[in-house]
Amino acid sequence: MQREEIAILDVREEAIFATGHPLFAANLPFSVIETEIYRRIPRRDTLLVVYDNGEGLAEKSLARLEDLGYINVQQLEGGLKGWEQAGGEVFIDVNAPSKAFGELVDFKRHTPSLSAEEVDQLISKKENVVVLDARRFDEYQTMSIPGSISVPGAELVLRVQDLAPDPQTLVIVNCAGRTRSIIGTQSLVNAGISNRVAALRNGTIGWTLAGQKLEHGQSRHFGEVSPENAELALSRSRSVAARAGVKTISFLALREFLEDKDKTTYWFDVRMPEEYAAGHLHGFLSAPGGQLVQETDHFAPVRGARLILADKEEVRANMTASWLAQMNWEVFVLETPDNAFWLEKGFPENPVPPFTNKPDLVDADTLSEFLRSDNELVVVDFAPSRQYLKGHIPNSWYALRSGLDEAIENLPSAEIYILTSPDGILAAFAATEFKLLTNKPVFVLKGGTKSWVEHGYALTGPGDIHAQLASPPHDRYRRPYEGTNIDPAAMEAYLEWEYGLVRQLDRDATHGFFVL
């Protein structure tokens, strides 16, 4: 059955988006439209519905999208307020569809779990237990359960028997909060592994709220998979995928999808990023399976689109697809082609539109000379706030493109402005509007801040002490489960929100989810 496609785009910054939005709204801030739109919305005639909450960004985004060649763009009448007045359910936080689905899985299947106190006792008594952390490796390194091993979610079924060869070993799966613990644990249950399995209830949040200490900077991770366990995992994963109604597609049959101009198709390689970089199929983007399930709204904003998953071992694709199918996606697993086809190395650059007005450029050496001699010069950095705080060109100011007029008011007066961003591309797109608002000479740092570093110049940072913020850092919503200095009240509130998501799904009634 042909599914109608739609992408509902919230064009506010992420921290504002997180305060409330429809369930299937995807966050695509006006600030980064040019650098993200072609990758995230590949088909130009997709129905796009843009909205804000009265900030004036929807109108600007609609006009920009039409300039970029999108021919079916509409504005949501009344914006977010209009949605609410029409009886639409509003969800807070980010990745709401995936988190709500995880809670539905737990509600329907009663996914086994243990409290932080119970798990701590098992570890302290050196019981026959292994703790597997289903988050990204960088999250695991920030904070982890003592003795745990990093096994990002889609890797669990493939690797669990090598990590817990004794069928009497209790396997505990954790994440920072709830979703990836639930999905990871239920993946192992669905696959029928012989070990007893349990989620760490409420993840590292629950661990912290229980007053128990976390580890930091750990590097334990999974090893190789034995051939016999790889075969076992393949059989198990195929069974789960078949039960979920997942379809397979041959490599040769991909041509039909490539030629289909009336349907959006997303092509994802669900292996670990380092495997992808070492060699992948042409046209497939890296989306590690656990994160694809967790952040589907980011990777695939077009509801009703088709998803093709690739994985040399097939296990990760099967398990990822089984969850996506239950989340009401049309998803296919690619029958693994010969090794000779996995030829592309590294990560492809994001496709970006050509510049309507090419900016005036300045190189890093010239900027360095300017900074030493010209007190009427201001450098403005459009990097993500997290990256700016980590390190930036000395005396540069952070600004958000979506609030450019307010940002300019907060900047010191200057006769010349030089704009930068990590690679210079976003700065170049901001240059025309910046020049119109200031009526001053505006230049863009050629190659961006990366070029500054490559030329041997130092960055200032990290931290807030050197930060000069012309805009509030609304581009990033700080999750209540990341970092190590979160207010316990915020953690408690986050858990309460997750517990209430099943009731919200009932009220929303648009999701189409089912649970095996």
Please check whether the domain covering 360-454 is classified as CATH 3.40.50.1950: no
| Minimum mean pLDDT range among 132-146, 430-444, 476-490 | 476-490
pLDDT for 373 equals 85
pLDDT at residue 481 greater than cutoff 80? no
The per-residue pLDDT for 337 is 80
Computed over every residue of the chain, the mean pLDDT equals: 95
Q: pLDDT tens across 316-336, in order?
A: 999 999 999 999 999 999 998
Q: Which CATH number fits domain 7-94: 3.40.1280.10, 3.40.50.1000, 3.30.1330.10, 3.40.250.10?
A: 3.40.250.10
Per CATH, 7-94 and 108-221 having the same topology is answered yes
Above 90 in pLDDT, residue 409?
yes
Whether the pLDDT of residue 49 is over 70: the answer is yes
User: Between these two residues, 269 and 256, which has the higher pLDDT value?
Assistant: 269
pLDDT (tens digit, 9 = 90+) per residue, 80-109?
999 999 999 999 999 999 999 999 999 999
- pLDDT single digits (tens) 422-454: 999 999 999 999 999 999 999 999 999 999 999
pLDDT digits (tens, 9 = 90+) for 101-127: 999 999 999 999 999 999 999 999 999
What is the distance between the alpha carbons of residues 433 and 359, in angstroms, rounded to a whole number?
11
Whether omega for the bond prior to residue 462 falls within 30 degrees of 0, making it cis, is yes
User: Residue 304: is its pLDDT beyond 70?
Assistant: yes
194 phi and psi angles, rounded to 5 deg: -80, -20
Q: What is residue 356's predicted lDDT score, i.e. its pLDDT?
A: 85
Asked if 221 and 191 touch (Cβ cutoff 8 Å), the reply is no
- Distance in angstroms (rounded) separating the CA atoms of residues 38 and 116: 43
Total number of residues shown for the chain: 516
Res. 25: pLDDT tops 60: yes
pLDDT for residue 24 is more than 90: yes
The CATH number of domain 108-221, selected from 3.60.150.10, 3.40.250.10, 3.30.2290.10, 3.20.20.80: 3.40.250.10
pTM of the model: 0.95
CATH T-level fold of 239-338 = Oxidized Rhodanese; domain 1 (3.40.250)
The Cα-based distances of 318 to 86, 225, 306, 313 in angstroms read 39, 17, 15, 10
* Each residue's pLDDT tens digit, 343-382: 999 999 999 999 888 999 999 999 999 998 877 899 999 9
Residue-wise pLDDT for 206-221, tens only, equals 999 999 999 999 999 9
Q: Kindly tell me if the per-residue pLDDT of 231 is higher than 70.
A: yes
Strand segments, DSSP code E, in 139-220 are 149-150, 170-174, 197-200
Instruction: Please state, for a pLDDT cut of 90, what percent of the chain lies above it.
Output: 89
Report pLDDT for 262.
92
Measured between alpha carbons, how far is 13 from 57 in angstroms, rounded to an integer?
Answer: 10
Q: What is the pLDDT of residue 1?
A: 42
CB-side neighbour CA atoms (13 Å) of 23: 23
Whole-number Å distance between alpha carbons of 379 and 415: 11
* Residue 256 pLDDT level (bands cut at 50, 70, 90): confident
In the chain, domain spans = 7-94, 108-221, 239-338, 360-454
Closest by CA to 430, choosing from 451, 412, 448, is 448
